[in-house]
């Protein structure tokens, strides 16, 4: 991962070098389908959400209304197809959120330190490497 910026508890990281930022893209549908959840290889990743698909454990919203409803109570559908939201548990942090955008940008929230943010990004990159290997074994190219 390249550019790394940290605000209060939110960190942003770019996985592609600057010269590829506007041309490279991550296949988020593939990432969501093959991402290892609570696996021995990636035990920190406990859940993910992509569009209307939820895998593993995603905590309930604090607002009291279901996460997948619009303000009028109807379904939202595939509203966030441009990102995968990953839930992680790292040492001393039970609820870390990492948004993975198709542009290769990662945004962490819930990390108490910069070190935790870096650990969260490393876990996501480990998952991406596993997915790339698995996808290549299936005969796929790119991710």
Radius of gyration of the chain (CA): 15
**So what's the pLDDT on residue 140?**
79
Residues 21-54: tens digit of each pLDDT: 788 888 999 999 999 999 999 999 999 999 888 9
Q: What phi, psi does 66 have (nearest 5°)?
A: -55, 150
CA distance 102 to 109: 18
- Sheet of strand 93-101, all strands in order from the earlier edge strand to the far edge: 4-6, 10-14, 105-109, 93-101, 83-90, 45-50, 53-56
Of 60, 64, 113, nearest in space to 87 by CA: 60
Residue-by-residue pLDDT tens, the chain, 143 positions: 455 555 556 788 888 888 887 888 889 999 999 999 999 999 999 999 998 889 998 877 665 555 555 544 445 554 557 899 999 999 888 889 999 999 999 999 988 888 888 899 999 999 999 999 988 888 877 77
CA distance 51 to 2: 27
**So what's the pLDDT on residue 2?**
52
């Amino acid at each position: 991962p390249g550019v790394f910026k940290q605000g209060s508890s939110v960190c942003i990281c770019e996985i592609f070098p600057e010269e590829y930022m506007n041309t490279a893209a991550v296949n988020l549908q593939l990432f969501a389908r093959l991402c290892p959840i609570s696996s021995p290889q990636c035990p920190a990743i406990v859940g993910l959400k992509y569009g209307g698909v939820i895998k593993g454990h995603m905590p309930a919203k604090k607002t009291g209304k279901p996460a997948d409803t619009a303000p009028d109570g109807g379904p939202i559908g595939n509203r966030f197809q441009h990102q995968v939201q990953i839930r992680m548990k790292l040492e001393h942090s039970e609820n870390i959120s990492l948004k993975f955008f198709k542009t290769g940008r990662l945004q962490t929230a819930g990390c108490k330190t910069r070190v935790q943010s870096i650990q969260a990004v490393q876990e996501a990159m480990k998952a991406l490497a596993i997915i790339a290997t698995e996808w290549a074994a299936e005969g796929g190219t790119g991710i």
